[in-house]
Structure formats: structure tokens, C-alpha cells
Amino acid sequence: MNNEDPLSELRDIHLPDAISMWPPAPGWFLIIALAIIALLWLVRKLSHRHRSRLYRRQALQQLQLIIDQDIPSWQLQQLFTLLRQTAHSIYEAADTSSLGVDDFINFLQSTSHSHLFDCDRKSLKMALYASTDEEKIGDYQQLCSVIARDTRHWILQHRISLSGTKTC
């Protein structure tokens, strides 16, 4: 046992193996599963939101087609037709298609977040139902631009739910 060089019997230092990235700890599996569930929920929610606003995109496209025409009395009739169709697609329980002009404007104002359609109702009815007079074309164009602006605003920002109706 009497060695001349006792250090020669020592072994070199061995480092442990490197830590592997796989398999991760069990907690990481839980975090990954929760992240996938959250991502699927978010995709579903965004997809539903996109589909539920389809009527708005279609109504805005139709509105642009109406605005591009240059016949004010026809534009007013088409704007009110568009408003009635859009309101009917949202508020199926409320029978908006059979409402008169005053009642329909009151309905639009009650479903809007801001004060819209504050035009002279008598001149609006004249523009909707009377024949076009050459002298009143300027008044019709001004009325039409106000109604078109309010229509765009109502389509973009109306309240979706009413008592007794479905929500989108």
C-alpha cells in the first residue's frame, strides 16, 4: 500500500450528463394544454364575431352602391329599404317592415347609441313618396346626404339587443 505516487490512483472529475429538454416537467404539459385550449377558444370567438357582423359588411356594401347613384329620390327610397332590411335581419321579433316612416325613424333612434335621423319628417315623407320636382332636387340631395350619413352610422353602431329579440 505504500505507493510512491498516491495521486496516480485518483480518477478524473466526471461531469454529469447535460439536462435534456425533452421530456419537460409535468407542469409544462398543463401549461401547453391550457394555451391550446385558450387559443382554440379565441379562434372560435373571433370566427363567431366575424360571422355575426356579416350583415353589417353587406349592408355597408349595399349602402355604397346606393350612394354612388345620383337620383336623390331613388336614393332615399333605397336607403330606407336598406335600413328596413338590415333592421329586419337583426330584430326579427320586432316587425320593422310594417312600421310607418315616423314609427320606423323612432325605432331607429331607439336602437342607436347616438341621436340620428333628426331631419324634418314632413320633407322626408315628401321626398320618399312624392314625385321629384326639379326645384326641390337640391333639398332632396341635402336630405339624402344626411340620411346616408345617419344610415352608415346606424349600421356601424346600433344596439344589437332589444327585449324579446335575438342577439347576434
Whether the predicted pLDDT of 32 surpasses 80? yes
Range of the domain at 150: 54-157
Give the predicted TM-score (pTM) of the model: 0.72
Q: Identify whether 165 is part of a domain.
A: no
Q: Report how many domains make up the chain.
A: 1
The b/e string for 124-146 (b: 16+ C-beta within 10 A; e otherwise) is: bebbbeeeeeeebeeebbebbee
pLDDT of residue 140: 78
Q: Identify whether 115 is part of a domain.
A: yes
Q: Identify whether 117 is part of a domain.
A: yes
- Mean pLDDT, the chain, rounded, equals 85
Q: Identify whether 59 is part of a domain.
A: yes
- Sequence-distant (≥ 6) Cβ neighbours of residue 127 within 8 angstroms: 72, 73, 76, 136, 139, 140, 143, 144
Task: Output DSSP code: residue 112.
Answer: B
Q: Identify whether 4 is part of a domain.
A: no
- Other beta carbons less than 10 A from residue 54's beta carbon: 11
pLDDT mean over 142-160? 89
The pLDDT confidence band at residue 167, using thresholds 50, 70 and 90, is very low
Whether the predicted pLDDT of 51 surpasses 90? yes
